[in-house]
Chains A and B, each alone.
Chain A
Amino acid sequence: MSEVLAIEVEGLVKTFGGLRAVAEVDLRVPPRSIYGLLGPNGAGKTTVVNIISGFLAPDRGVIRVHGRETHGLPPYRIAREGVARTYQNIRLFPGMTVLETVATGAYHRRRSTILGAVLLSRAERRERAEVAAKALALIERVGITASPGALAETLSYGDQRRVEIARALAAEPRVLLLDEPTAGMNDAESRQVGELLLGLRAEGLTLVLIEHNMRLVEEFCDEVTVMNSGAVLAVGTLAACLEQPDVREAYFGKRSDARRIETLRRARRG
């Protein structure tokens, strides 16, 4: 492959006490793609995202973002390398409005200084206006219907997820890690998020998403990695992965289990 990968993970290992949460995981995410990270609960998907974004230190393994090694860097340095993320359990700043929350995301794209802010210099005023305009545009783009002046924490569940996406996008990342972006959304809302992802990919962004909505994954993901019990089960298109027996087993249980369940059902009915 001639092109540098957006994210390249090699031999990632992370243990919590005796539990191997991530065991020798490799991940190759091509740039400008929508990449799905799948697997049942407890498969280690969020742990992988936490390690890539620097929230957790890996026990072993190499991580490269656009060719630059990022493992061992503090999270704010990784963010400055162009990695942004959202959270499975929504994490907004209490007391902040939607607009303030999204503007906070623009932090490392801004040049404003303490002195400039205190003296309210011309550069400061211009930058504040630019940041506000960009934030408002993002708020509209991700489809938030509430007022930008509303407290972010009072929004509906779906809108709070959109605020997180807008906050991450305000940092103008090259890679966006989305941890269950459509959890709690209905089909129409989920599709809207999917369309948003397509638009972002078209602009050159790489998107990695943890997602349980298979229809969404099928429709929008270019490629997926399926994990189970901390290890990679399969890599490729969703259809190809679902052909593999061990993937089906991880998701739907063993064939013998299925047969047993079916027998039980019949027994109950009869």
Chain B
Amino acid sequence: MNLAAWNTTLQFAGVSALFALSIYASLWTGVLSLAPVFFGAVSAFTFGWATMTLGLTPVAALALGAVGGGLLGVLTAFLVLRLESHYLAMATIALVLIGRVLVINMEGFTGGVAGTLAPGDLGTWFWCLGCLGAAAYVLARLRGSRFGLAASAVREDPAVAQSLGISPRAVQLVGFTLSGVFGGVAGVLQASFLQFIGPDTFYTHLGFTTLAAVVLGGAYHWLGPIIGAVVFTALPELLRGPLGEFDSIVTGLLLVVIIVYLPRGLVDLRRFRLLRGRGKAVVSE
């Protein structure tokens, strides 16, 4: 693979990482949701329409995508948070399916089956790393905060969290809002890099590969989804040379091995803490 191809691959890895952080944001509060794909679709097509038809500048349209994504996250939260765990996950998958139907049928807005063009101004390293860095910064700041502790508590044991005065719904609403903003921004960047988006750009495939990236990298620390996304985008490209189209067998196997031996993913603070504790015990003996 040449340098230009690597450049493109890693840029897409950055966008996947942003999608992965979007999934992580709600998973942190104990909600498995594929809604980020839907948030991404809505903001990407809004981006295409706002820049191409309304003549908005790409940066203004990016801001619109972020805010719109956040609002959509809030709306989705009110819609689906009354459901229990797996029904909730199913409902977010349904959102992804509905998204495709909307894209196909709202032709004037999305270009329908043929898809639509989007400006490539934001398809640069600057915007890719800038947005990813900002998202990671927000999550890193929140980690040890009042919200961060509450989010982890709700995820691990919502009943005990409640007995400490934490409202799981309120915490999850924040999670969905963050998820919406990140997903919205990721959608805009995806559209900028591809410069063409259609009904299949934001569909189940994107959702499941991103989810796989989160599982691989680890869903208990913000660094996990980023690493998982980079591995999951770069590895297939590396394997395509020697293995041809069998590359997905290797990535699939890798995922199974990770789930079996590192169920909490590559980046697992709990494992690090256990190892550190063991090291201390050995030293003190």
Contact = CB atoms under 8 A, between A and B. Distances in A.
Contacts of B165: 76, 79-80, 107-108, 171
A174 interface: no
Contact of B146 (A110, A120, A150): A110
What size tier do the contact residues of chain A reach?
35 or more
A94 B150 CA distance: 13
Given A91-B160, A95-B156, A151-B270, A107 B166 contact: yes
Interface string B270-283: 10011001000000
Given A95-B269, A118-B138, A171-B164, A124 B145 contact: yes
Contacts, number: 105
Interface stretch (A14-22, A96-104, A248-256, A257-265): A96-104
Nearest to B139: A118
Given A91-B160, A171-B165, A117 B274 contact: no
Contact of B167 (A76, A96, A112): A76
B159 interface: yes
A77 to B, nearest CB: 8
Contacts of A168: 163-164
B271 to A, nearest CB: 9
Interface string A84-97: 11010001011111
B71 to A, nearest CB: 16
A167 B157 CA distance: 14
B146 A79 contact: no
Contact of B164 (A54, A74, A107): A107
B141 interface: yes
Chain B facing A: main interface SS: helix
A76 B163 CA distance: 5
A103 to B, nearest CB: 6
Contacts of B137: 118
Contacts of B161: 76, 104
A55 B159 contact: yes
Contacts of A91: 157, 159-160
B220 interface: yes
Given A95-B269, A151-B273, A154-B274, A117 B164 contact: no
28 contacts: A55-B163, A75-B159, A76-B168, A79-B162, A79-B164, A91-B159, A93-B152, A93-B153, A95-B152, A95-B269, A95-B270, A95-B273, A96-B149, A96-B152, A100-B149, A104-B153, A104-B164, A107-B153, A108-B165, A110-B146, A112-B146, A114-B147, A117-B141, A117-B146, A118-B138, A150-B273, A150-B277, A171-B165
Interface of A: 53-55, 74-76, 79-80, 84-85, 87, 91, 93-97, 100, 103-105, 107-108, 110, 112, 114, 117-118, 120, 124, 127-128, 150-151, 154, 167-168, 171
